[in-house]
Amino acid sequence: MSTKRLVIKLGTSTLTADTPRISRRRMLEIARQVVLVREAGHEVVLVSSGAMQAGRERMGVQKDPRAPLPVKQMLAAVGQTHLMRAWEQVFELFDVYVGQILLTRADLNDDRRRYLNARDALTATLAHGIVPIVNENDAVATEEIRVGDNDNLSALVANVLDADLLLILSDIDGLFTADPRRDPHATLIDEVPLIDDDVRERATGSRTALGVGGMNTKIQAAELATHSGVTVVIANGARPNVIVDAAAGASVGTRFLAQARSVEGRKRWILSERAAGSVHIDAGAARALRQGKSLLPVGVREVVGDFERGGIVDVLDESGRTLARGIARYGAADARKIAGRQSDQIESILGYDFAPMLVHADDMVVLDR
Ligand code: GLU
C-alpha cells in the first residue's frame, strides 16, 4: 500500500463534541485514530478550529458576533495556546509530537515566495514524523488577508501539499438530497462525481452554533480541493473510527471525486507561466534531469535574468536548448552565488538554506527527454 497524505479538518463542533466546551475526550479519540493511520504508513496534517471557542471558554465569555475585532483577536490569541496545549497533551500519550503552523491567505495563494515557505514548513514537519496542526492566524489575520473559514483553509492546505485526501469532519453526516433537519425524506449522498449547480443548491446554509462554516463553505472547499486533484470526504466527526475508515477508502459520509491529478495540474500551470529567467546547466545535470531528478546548484553554470524565489525559470542544457521549466527555490541573486557549488555549502554561502536543490523534480516539467 502506498503512502497517502491526508489533511483532516476538525470543526469546532467536532472538537467540542457538541457541548459548549473543547472536549479532551474527543481530542484523545481523534489522536488515537490519527496515530493508527500514521502507523499504517500515511502522513496526516490536522487543520484544527476551536481557537475562538477555547478562548471564550478560558475567558468565560459567550459567543458574540458583534464583539470588536481586537477582542476577537485577543480571544484567538488566548484560545490558540489553550487549544495547542490540549493537542500536545493528547498526542503525548502516544509519544507523537505536534507542531503549530498558523497561516493566512497570503501564505497559501497570493505570494509564491510565501507559498513555498508554507509548503516547506509543512513538508519538513511531516518529514520529521511530527503532526502539523494548522489554523488560521486569527490573532493578526484581518478581514482582507484571511481565508475566513477553516473549510477553505483546509482545501488550500491540501492543495499546497498535493494531498490525496481531505477529510472534513463536523457534526453533519455528509451531503443530503435535502436539508435533513427539515425534510424527513432526505437521504445521504454517498458519492459526488462532479460538483455542479445541482450539488451547490443542495448545500443549503446549515450552520453550527459555535463554528464558522456551514455546508456552503464545505462545498466551496470541496470544489477547490477536487479541482486541484484531491479527493474530499465530508463526514461526521462523531462517527466511530471515521478517520481510520476514511483513510482506508471505506464508504463514510459523502465522497467527492478528484477532478485532476494535482501534480499534472501544477505542471500545466508551470508551462502556462512566462519564465522570468533561465539557468544554464552542465551535461551531468542534464542527464540527472532526464532521469527525473532535481536540479542541484552544483550543475548550474550560469544564471540569466532576475527572478524571485518561487519564480518560473527555463533550464537550458549545455547546447543551449530548453530542457525543462520549473519553480526556483532560490531567487536569481542567490542562485548566482550558489551556482557550481555543493548543496551542503549553501548555508555557509547564503547564511540560510531553503533546500538542497535549485529546482525540485516535483516542480519541474522536463520537455526534452
Ligand atoms: N479559525 C477559527 C478558530 O480557530 C475557526 C474557523 C472555522 O471554524 O472555520 O476558531
Q: Cell numbers at residue 94, please?
A: 502516544
Q: Does the Cβ of 149 fall within 6 Å of ligand 1?
A: yes
Distance separating alpha carbons of residues 313 and 175, to the nearest angstrom: 43
CATH of the domain spanning 275-366: 2.30.130.10
| Cβ proximity of 281 and 316 under 8 Å | yes
84-88, 144-148, 278-282, 293-297: least confidently modelled range: 144-148
- DSSP E strand stretches across the chain: 5-10, 43-48, 98-103, 131-136, 165-170, 191-192, 231-236, 254-256, 277-281, 300-305, 312-316, 322-328, 359-366
CB proximity list for 33: less than 8 A, separation 6 or greater:
241, 242, 243, 244
Q: Is the pLDDT of residue 354 over 50?
A: yes
pTM of the model: 0.81
**124-181 residue pLDDT tens:** 999 999 999 999 999 988 777 788 899 999 999 998 898 999 999 999 899 988 877 7
Measured from the Cα of 54, ligand 1's closest atom is: 10
Distance of CA 265 to the CA centre of its chain: 16
- The fold adopted by the segment(s) 5-267 is Carbamate kinase (3.40.1160)
Pocket perturbation via mutation, ligand 1, pick of 212, 218, 220 by most ligand atoms within 8 A of CB: 212
Pocket perturbation via mutation, ligand 1, pick of 10, 84, 103, 136 by most ligand atoms within 8 A of CB: 136
Residue type at 366 in one-letter notation? V
| Percent share of the chain, pLDDT over 90 | 69
Confidence tier at 274 by pLDDT (50, 70, 90): confident
Q: Is the pLDDT of residue 367 over 70?
A: yes
Residue 224 Cα to ligand 1 midpoint, Å, equals 19
**188-201 residue pLDDT tens:** 999 999 998 888 88
Distance separating alpha carbons of residues 5 and 171, to the nearest angstrom: 23
Choose among 249, 245, 194: nearest CA to 222.
Answer: 194
Q: Is the pLDDT of residue 210 over 70?
A: no
Confidence tier at 208 by pLDDT (50, 70, 90): very low
Q: Does the Cβ of 14 fall within 6 Å of ligand 1?
A: no
CB proximity list for 332: less than 8 A, separation 6 or greater:
277, 303, 305, 306, 307, 308, 311
Distance separating alpha carbons of residues 83 and 171, to the nearest angstrom: 19
Q: Does the Cβ of 57 fall within 6 Å of ligand 1?
A: no
Choose among 10, 102, 12: nearest CA to 54.
Answer: 12
Residue 29 Cα to ligand 1 midpoint, Å, equals 20
Residue 203 Cα to ligand 1 midpoint, Å, equals 20
Q: For the sheet containing 131-136, what is the strand order?
A: 98-103, 131-136, 43-48, 5-10, 165-170, 231-236, 254-256, 191-192
Pocket perturbation via mutation, ligand 1, pick of 27, 52, 220 by most ligand atoms within 8 A of CB: 52
Q: What is the DSSP letter of 274?
A: P
Distance separating alpha carbons of residues 361 and 130, to the nearest angstrom: 24
Confidence tier at 356 by pLDDT (50, 70, 90): very high
DSSP letter for each residue of 96-124: --EEEEEE-HIIIII-HHHHHHHHHHHHH
**Domain residue ranges of the chain, discontinuous segments joined by +:** 5-267, 275-366
Choose among 269, 250, 249, 251: nearest CA to 260.
Answer: 269
479519540: which residue's cell?
29
pLDDT of res. 61: 94
> 109 exposed, middle or buried (CB, 10 Å; 0-12, 13-18, 19+)?
middle
- Identical fold for domains 5-267 and 275-366, yes or no, is no
3-state secondary structure of 207: strand
Q: Whose CA is nearest to atom 5 of ligand 1?
A: 49
Tell me the CA distances in angstroms from 57 to 23, 50, 53, one per residue in order.
Answer: 11, 10, 6
Residue 212 Cα to ligand 1 midpoint, Å, equals 6
Q: Does the Cβ of 277 fall within 6 Å of ligand 1?
A: no
Distance of CA 276 to the CA centre of its chain: 27
In this structure, the strands spanning 312-316 and 300-305 are unpaired
Angle at which helix 150-160 crosses helix 215-227, to 10 degrees, equals 10
Pocket perturbation via mutation, ligand 1, pick of 12, 27, 147, 156 by most ligand atoms within 8 A of CB: 12
